[in-house]
Amino acid sequence: MTAIAAGSGGGEGINPVASAIGIVLILITLAITYFAVPAGLAALVGVIVGGLLIGFGIHFVPVGGAPAAMGQAPGIATGVAMLATGAGLAGLFGGAWAAANPEFSFAVVIAAGAVGGGLMMAITCLMVNIIYIFGMGIPAASGKVAKDPITGDTQEAYKSQGTEGHGLPFISYVGGVIGGLLGGAGGTLIYYELLQVYTATLPGMFGADAAEVLPIAVSLAGIFAVGMFLVNAVLAAYNITGTIEGPHDPKFKRFPRAIIGCATASAVCGLFAILIVMGV
């Protein structure tokens, strides 16, 4: 029972029937929310948009796994889900801090989350390049394009024989930061929308002051946001199946189906998260 013999890696292009069913599923969850918890409808839309942002953002994150660790492929030497989770949680910390301050508006909260995620990716990419360049003595070069789409630098001359490139070329670095920004914003959006629903409904549910049950609301919104972040990150990773260099990588073109998939998964998970306050 070996992996290669089993043969997978996914087909190309969009599956139109499955995509249509996915969109119908989203509409069904919206309808159920409208009838079960009318106050949660706007929140569910926010959760779906958040999931969609995460799914899209993950395609920007340059990951290489084991080949990158050996210097045979550009990217950060870990799995997509791990790295995206790190960026998402860093974003969530920033966003949760901003959400706790009532003076900050919606836009500030989302921006704080995005900056948290982007910062985490920027630091990770910087440290990866320091290790590659000064530790392993290899220059950053992409194997997927002849010229860097942003700087116009040629890649071919710096690429070692027998490799797909190495390090994090400029475009991958920029892509990673964009991915962190989008992922952090998406995760924070999910957290913020759920927090609004819980802070509004939980006091009535427990018959207690809003301040008393705030820890429950924060904890519930936080753990649901983490759960949905992981679901979206892994589904997007399944779309990439392996390594990706960033926005110039041919695999990046697969993102539309990840957007549909992540939106559908977030809709179902979001429905469950909102149903928890049903009957208030």
Partner 1 sequence: MTVQITASEGGIPHNTIMAVGLVGSLVCLYLTYANQFLNAEYAAFFGGLAAVFALLWGTDTIKNLCSYGIGTGVPSAGMIAFGTGVIAMLLATKVETIVPFSAPIAAVVFGAIVGAVAGWIANEVMRMNIPVMVRSLTEMAIIGAIVLMGFTAAMAGGFGFDALAAREIAILGPLTTTSYVGSLLGGCLLAVSFMLGSLALQHPFNACLGPGEQQDRTMMLAAECGFLSMIAVAAISFAFIAFPAALLSLIVAIVGWYYTYVRFIELSKRDAFAWLDAKPILEPKGDD
- Least distance (Å) from partner 1 to the CB of residue 228? 7
Rank residues 148 and 176 by Cβ distance to partner 1 and give the closer one. 176
Q: Give, as ranges, the residues between 54 and 93 that touch partner 1 (CB under 8 A).
A: 63-67, 78-82, 85
Q: Which of these ranges, 119-127, 135-143, 183-191, 262-270, lies near partner 1 under the rule CB under 8 A?
A: 262-270
User: How large is the C-alpha radius of gyration of the chain?
Assistant: 20
Determine the interface stretch with partner 1 among 40-48, 91-99, 161-169, 257-265 (rule: CB under 8 A): 257-265
Least separation in angstroms between residue 3's CB and partner 1 is: 3
| Residue 220 within binding range of partner 1, rule CB under 8 A | yes
What is the nearest approach in angstroms of partner 1 to the Cβ of residue 168? 16
Q: Closest separation between CB of residue 121 and partner 1, Å? A: 18
Q: What is the rounded distance in angstroms from the CA atom of residue 233 to the CA atom of residue 273?
A: 18
The SS3 assignment for 168 reads: coil
Other CB atoms within a 10 A radius of the CB of residue 203 amount to 19
Q: Is 222 in the site for partner 1 (CB under 8 A)?
A: yes
Rounded to the nearest whole angstrom, what is the least distance from the CB of residue 248 to partner 1 in the complex?
A: 20
Query: CA 60 to CA 247: how far, in whole Å?
Result: 5
SS3 171: helix
Name which of residues 85 to 144 contact partner 1 (CB under 8 A): 85
For residue 213, give the nearest of 221, 101, 46 by alpha carbon. Answer: 221
Is residue 24 near partner 1 by the rule CB under 8 A? no
State the Cα torsion 227-231-236-237 to the nearest 10°. Answer: 90
CA distances from 201 to 34, 208, 276 (A): 16, 11, 10
Residue 215 binding partner 1, by CB under 8 A:
yes
Q: How many CB atoms lie within 10 A of CB 162?
A: 6
Q: Is 187 in the site for partner 1 (CB under 8 A)?
A: no
User: 10 Å Cβ neighbour count for 186?
Assistant: 33
Stretch of 21-29, 32-40, 135-143, 183-191 contacting partner 1, by CB under 8 A: 21-29
Q: Which lies closer to partner 1 via its Cβ, residue 39 or residue 82?
A: 82
